[in-house]
């Protein structure tokens, strides 16, 4: 668009303004892409994986903020040189007198706020719930900034086809967001009428929640997938948190297993039977469909056993499981894992750090000694970030191809 609308670039003012126009167009396009990545489109979610989409969104967000900053600075500097004015004076003129610029300025400030809160140092100081809801500011920022693109952008003013393309781009993304993030979950809640049936203790600080409802088979949930659960009870109804299914979906019930690591997860243990539930999903690509070798190895750390327990029952072929925990009593669902192993002739190994002498080091040589054909297996991995990072390094060290290492993370 910029190339077609620009006959020539002359002088510092032309170069600065041209660069400002290009970065503005790229930022506007990137905003639409970022929203589409987080629209929870089932095809994307299954093909790419939720955590990979989140990483692309996070990386793209950093580039987009950089483009937005560059656009603002370059345009204002270029306009100031063109008009022979100072940058501060030109900024005042643009903000106060150009169409839709007051709204765009508010959107720009919201973008900066989101960028600050998304920085790693800031994320450590806020809860997942707070971070999640503050991110809704990006919707407002994009909405506020949209008008100024068409009202002031040299590539749009007087160019009806370009305007229609931009309207179609943003309208299409908005339709996807409205359908998959809002309308479809509401329809699913009304159709399936989920309720808590039972809360069962599994290990210290870990409970399983059984949820019943209507037409559960229509959810088509696969082992390894997760839902975003919203429990309609005081203190929990306002937040939807991601929890994996800890058993293959049944026509009568769904089950999640939750460890108390924060206010929300701790409150889940106090749920009472009959509590209404909204569940958005299923999401995630950590399913048996990823297996291509006929042999699998599951590596679980702590409560990361939840999706792998479902996969341990459902994966075809030769399957082995290694489960790391701090103490023997922290091994959630151990009885079920032993029963599954006995039924299907699979192998399961438990590694605990206390008492000493019962721990399997998370290193390549140790894994290869325990599973000699590890390089021939698909590996499913779930656990705390430090554990998964160490496991990926260990697997690569013993020759497991990256395409056979499957993992998803809920870290934010």
Q: How far apart are CA 143 and CA 268, in angstroms?
A: 35
Token readout for 261 is 């690591």
- Decide yes or no: CATH 3.40.50.300 for domain 193-283: no
pLDDT in tens, 186-204: 999 899 999 999 999 998 8
Instruction: Name the stretches of the chain with pLDDT < 70.
Output: 120-124, 126-132, 357, 409-412
Cα 180 to chain centroid distance, Å, stands at: 14
Closest C-alpha to 268, from 278, 279, 257: 257
Instruction: Give the pair of three-digit tokens for residue 300.
Output: 């679980």
pLDDT of residue 412: 44
Every domain of the chain and the residues it spans:
2-183, 193-283, 288-407
pLDDT for position 116: 81
Tokens 């089950």, residue? Answer: 255
Rounded Cα–Cα distance for residues 388 and 284 (Å): 17
Q: How far is CA 211 from CA 273, 276, 277, in A?
A: 9, 9, 8
Alpha-carbon distance of 269 to 265, in angstroms, equals 7
What class is the 288-407 domain?
alpha beta
Distance of CA 110 to the CA centre of its chain: 21
Residue 37, classed as helix, strand or coil, is: helix
Q: How far apart are the first and last CA of the chain?
A: 36
CA angle 53, 59, 61 (to 5 degrees): 100
Helix, strand, coil percentages in the chain from 3-state DSSP, rounded to 5: 55, 15, 25
| C-alpha to C-alpha distance for 219 and 188, rounded to whole angstroms | 9
Helices (H), 38-159: 42-48, 50-83, 87-97, 101-118, 120-123, 128-134, 137-152
The DSSP-derived string for 189-203 is: HHHH-EEEEEEEEEE
Q: Are 217 and 252 in contact (CB under 8 A)?
A: no
């Amino acid at each position: 668009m910029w190339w077609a609308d620009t006959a020539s670039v002359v002088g510092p003012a032309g170069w600065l303004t041209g660069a400002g126009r290009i970065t503005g167009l790229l930022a506007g396009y990137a905003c639409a892409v970022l929203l589409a990545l987080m629209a929870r489109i089932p095809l994307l979610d299954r093909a790419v994986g939720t955590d990979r989409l989140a990483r692309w969104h996070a990386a793209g967000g950093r580039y987009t903020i950089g483009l937005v900053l560059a656009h603002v600075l370059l345009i204002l500097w270029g306009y100031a040189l063109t008009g022979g004015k100072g940058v501060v004076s030109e900024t005042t003129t643009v903000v106060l007198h150009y169409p839709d610029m007051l709204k765009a300025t508010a959107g720009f400030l919201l973008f900066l706020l989101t960028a600050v809160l998304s920085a790693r140092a800031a994320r450590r100081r806020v809860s997942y719930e707070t971070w999640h809801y503050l991110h809704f500011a990006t919707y407002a920022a994009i909405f506020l900034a949209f008008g100024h693109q068409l009202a002031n952008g040299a590539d749009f003013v007087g160019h009806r086809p370009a305007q229609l393309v931009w309207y179609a781009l943003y309208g299409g993304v908005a339709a996807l967001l409205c359908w998959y993030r809002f309308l479809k979950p509401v329809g699913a809640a009304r159709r399936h009428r989920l309720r808590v049936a039972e809360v069962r203790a599994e290990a210290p600080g870990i409970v399983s929640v059984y949820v019943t409802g209507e037409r559960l088979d229509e959810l088509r949930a696969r082992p390894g997938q997760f839902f975003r659960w919203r429990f309609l009870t005081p203190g929990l109804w306002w937040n939807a948190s991601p929890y994996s299914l800890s058993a293959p979906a049944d026509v009568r019930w769904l089950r999640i297993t939750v460890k108390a690591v924060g206010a929300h997860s701790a409150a889940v243990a106090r749920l009472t039977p009959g509590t209404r539930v909204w569940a958005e999903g299923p999401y995630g690509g950590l399913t048996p469909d990823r297996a291509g070798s006929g042999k699998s190895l599951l590596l679980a750390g702590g409560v990361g056993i939840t999706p792998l327990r479902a996969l341990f029952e459902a994966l075809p072929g030769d399957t082995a499981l290694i489960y790391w925990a701090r103490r023997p009593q922290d091994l959630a669902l151990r009885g079920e894992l032993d029963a599954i192993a006995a039924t299907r002739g699979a192998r399961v190994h438990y590694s605990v750090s206390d008492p000493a002498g019962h721990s399997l080091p998370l290193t390549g040589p140790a894994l290869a000694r325990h599973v000699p054909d590890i390089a021939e297996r698909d590996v499913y991995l779930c656990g705390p970030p430090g554990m998964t990072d160490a496991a990926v390094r260990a697997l690569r060290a013993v020759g497991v191809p990256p395409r056979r290492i499957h993992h998803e993370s809920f870290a934010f």
